[in-house]
Structure 1
Amino acid sequence: MKEYTRAQLALRNGQDREEIWCAYQGLIYDVSPSRLWKNGKHYEHWAGQDLTQELSAAPHTDGVFSRFIIIGKLK
């Protein structure tokens, strides 16, 4: 599985490129297909970063990531 740095992940924020990626527990997910991540923002959360610490404040579980393709690993 390909590895990406935090800087490479940050470029996939829905603003700099078309890809909208988020990391969770060391894995990077492509959330581009979700209308809830339009323009790289989902409520108060921003794409292009590791959301592991932020998930505890979400109204859903980490099962939500099963809907998305894993792109790679976070270095």
Structure 2
Amino acid sequence: MTQKTFTLDELHKFNGKDGNPAYVAVSGTVYDVTNVAAWKGGEHHGHQAGNDLTDALYKDSPHKDRVLANLPKVGVLAGEN
């Protein structure tokens, strides 16, 4: 199955607002956080869906990348792989 390639501008549209799904990119992979309770409304601890959160995940998050394995992968971020 071919994964969708997102530009950063395209990713910004998936911010969890106005009925849009909530996607985040980490280390070049785009994950769907739409159905994650902690991401209600596209926000989680001051971070907004629709962005590359690689730095935030590894610098600010207590769980680091442990949660990523449970999230659906929906694509890759252009220029990041």
TM-based fold match above 0.5: yes
Give the equivalent residue in structure 1 for 2:71: 68
Identify the residue that residue 34 of structure 2 maps to in structure 1. 32
| Number of residue equivalences | 75
Moved more, 12-21 or 61-70: 12-21
The gaps in structure 2 that reach 5 residues or longer are none
Q: What amino acid is the match of 1:42?
A: H
Checking the alignment, whether the CA contact within 8 Å between 1:30 and 1:68 is kept in structure 2 is yes
Task: Show structure 1 runs of 4+ deviating over 3 A.
Answer: none
Q: Which amino acid aligns with 2:48?
A: W
Q: In 2 relative to 1, CA 17–8 (structure 1 residues): closer, same or farther, beyond 3 Å?
A: farther
Which residue in 2 is equivalent to 1:5? Answer: 7
Question: Following TM superposition, by how much is the alpha carbon of 1:18 offset from its aligned partner in structure 2, in angstroms?
Answer: 2.4
% same residue: 37
Report SS of the residue matched to 2:24.
Answer: strand
CA distance in 1, matches of 2:12, 2:27: 16
Gaps of 5+ in 1: none
CA deviation after TM superposition for structure 1 residue 61, in Å: 1.9
TM-score in terms of structure 1 length: 0.93
Residue 16 of structure 1, CA deviation: 4.3
TM-score, length basis structure 2: 0.87
CA RMSD of aligned residues (A): 1.0
- Partners of 2:60 and 2:75 lie apart in 1 by 24
